[in-house]
Amino acid sequence: MPVRDIFELDIPILGICYGMQLLAHFLNGKVDNSAKREYGQATLEILDDNDLFCGLNGSTSVWMSHGDALQKIPDGFEVIAKTSNSPIAAIRSFNKKIYGVQFHPEVHHSVDGIVILENFLRNICKCKEKWDEKSIINTQIEKIRETVGNSKVICALSGGVDSTVAAVLLHKAIGEQLHCIHIDTGLMRKNESNIILKLFKENFNIPIEVIDGSIPFLSRLRGISEPETKRKIIGNTFIELFEEAAKRIDGVKFLAQGTLYPDVIESVSVKGPSATIKSHHNVGGLPEKMNLKLIEPFRELFKDEVRAVGRELDIPEWFIERHPFPGPGLAIRIIGEISEEKLEVLREADDIFIQEIKNSGIYNAIWQAFVVLLSVKSVGVMGDERTYENVAAIRAVTSTDGMTADWFEFPYNVLKRISNRIINEVHGINRVVYDISSKPPSTIEWE
């Protein structure tokens, strides 16, 4: 069906950000470069609160991410909200029940975003809520059993929340047909593999095969500094090792991963002008020809939804609340070329950072926190000696789904303690800086 025809179906439509621009384009409005780009928090002034903005008191804080904007609304539409930078921040055709908003109500940092979406879905579309953790689990178990049949499945178990919840769900669905494989890439956090093995042994009684892949990963990454090239190398190496492992197991036809919806959005460019932000090793890094078929039970879910599923599956709360850790590991937290020496420096700094966050009782208030080893060195003085060592950037953000994020406002005394410990205890770092950029326009990870 041509996109234009969607607007003639006589069904409620909500265009979000690019979606509003798209509907305006097809309905004879005008979209052009905005005089002022708008990223991050903005105050929305509501001009009409009868339906989409029902229950809001004249204004709300929303999250923007756009460089283009509507210059002219389509015929039959009216402006129902604006911001200081966007005189057309929301539009409506009441008769056709077509709405458009320039901001992102679906993200955590739009304060009343849930109210706006509920107004659209429940009051305008008359939808009934049927989603919950149990329904997701039951639906996926049925789907997995139907897809797999009597075949065996290997699960790429990184040890993060996503792959762990996926593994427990798969084991519940197919039991001994599941074979979990954890690859120690040499790019892991301090003691990461040991934590994973202990968790699965003590809590789930699910056996794990551990593969030491540090030699192929580090040798292939040697001399590589371009971020996308790193990701592609890591993705292809993962698949090669999994395929080799699969050959040793009779009847394996499927590879299971903990891919989430944000991974897909950031990795895949749909037809049109949207861009690939970064490839994920379990999405964009896959080779075109694979001997295994993919199972991705959480491909349409966000991180907070996967955590809810994990709680329903009785995964320990301390693990469910662990911060996300990227599949490519520390490779994308070292800017530039990777070496074993840099990896060791980064591991120690990152471990201290997380220790101090936990000691301060603020770990669960932060969505993700980590250290980045920069590709620059700075002059310092330690005792009577001049030093010329690495700069470390610390990053801590608040979010719920990773699609948007804002930097965490540390108490100064905590920042001071973190900086002092890293510089004093980690040989090779003499300066610590704090990243205070939001997503967008920055990403959470640096590469």
Phi, psi of 446 (to 5 degrees): -85, -25
Q: In the structure encoding, which two tokens stand for residue 286, read together? A: 């896959």
Q: What is the pLDDT of residue 49?
A: 85
What does the pLDDT look like over 93-149, one tens digit per residue?
Answer: 988 899 999 999 988 889 999 999 999 999 999 998 777 899 999 999 999 999 999
Pairing of strands 152-156, 252-256: parallel
pLDDT at 358 over 70: yes
Question: pLDDT band at residue 379, thresholds of 50, 70 and 90?
Answer: confident
CB atoms within 10 A of CB 54: 15
Residue 17: active-site member: yes
Q: What is the pLDDT of residue 377?
A: 81
pLDDT at 73 over 50: yes
Catalytic-labelled residue, pool 17, 66, 348, 445: 17
**How far is 114 from 63, CA to CA, in rounded Å?**
13
Q: How far apart are the first and last CA of the chain?
A: 38
Q: Are 409 and 332 in contact (CB under 8 A)?
A: no
Question: pLDDT band at residue 265, thresholds of 50, 70 and 90?
Answer: low
Residue 171: active-site member: no
Residue 106: active-site member: yes
Catalytic-labelled residue, pool 45, 54, 106, 312: 106
- Tell me the pLDDT of the chain averaged across its residues: 88
Q: Please identify which residue in the block is written with the tokens 């204004």.
A: 59
Cα–Cα nearest to 280, from 400, 405, 404, 162: 162
Q: What is the pLDDT of residue 13?
A: 96
List the single range of 88-102, 278-292, 300-314 with lowest mean pLDDT.
278-292
Greater confidence, 94 or 271? 94
What does the pLDDT look like over 425-443, one tens digit per residue?
Answer: 999 999 999 999 998 889 9
Cα–Cα nearest to 280, from 264, 257, 303, 297: 264
Q: What is the pLDDT of residue 289?
A: 52
**How far is 199 from 210, CA to CA, in rounded Å?**
14
What does the pLDDT look like over 403-428, one tens digit per residue?
Answer: 788 999 999 999 999 999 999 999 99
pLDDT average, residue stretch 244-251: 87
Greater confidence, 275 or 17? 17
Pairing of strands 78-82, 30-46: antiparallel
Catalytic-labelled residue, pool 104, 109, 179, 281: 104
Q: What is the pLDDT of residue 384?
A: 61
What does the pLDDT look like over 144-190, one tens digit per residue?
Answer: 999 999 999 999 888 789 999 999 999 999 999 999 999 999 999 99
What does the pLDDT look like over 43-63, one tens digit per residue?
Answer: 999 999 889 999 998 999 998
Q: Are 392 and 425 in contact (CB under 8 A)?
A: no
Tell me the pTM. 0.72
Q: What is the pLDDT of residue 95?
A: 87
pLDDT at 280 over 80: no
What does the pLDDT look like over 328-357, one tens digit per residue?
Answer: 999 999 999 999 999 999 999 999 999 999
pLDDT average, residue stretch 205-229: 93
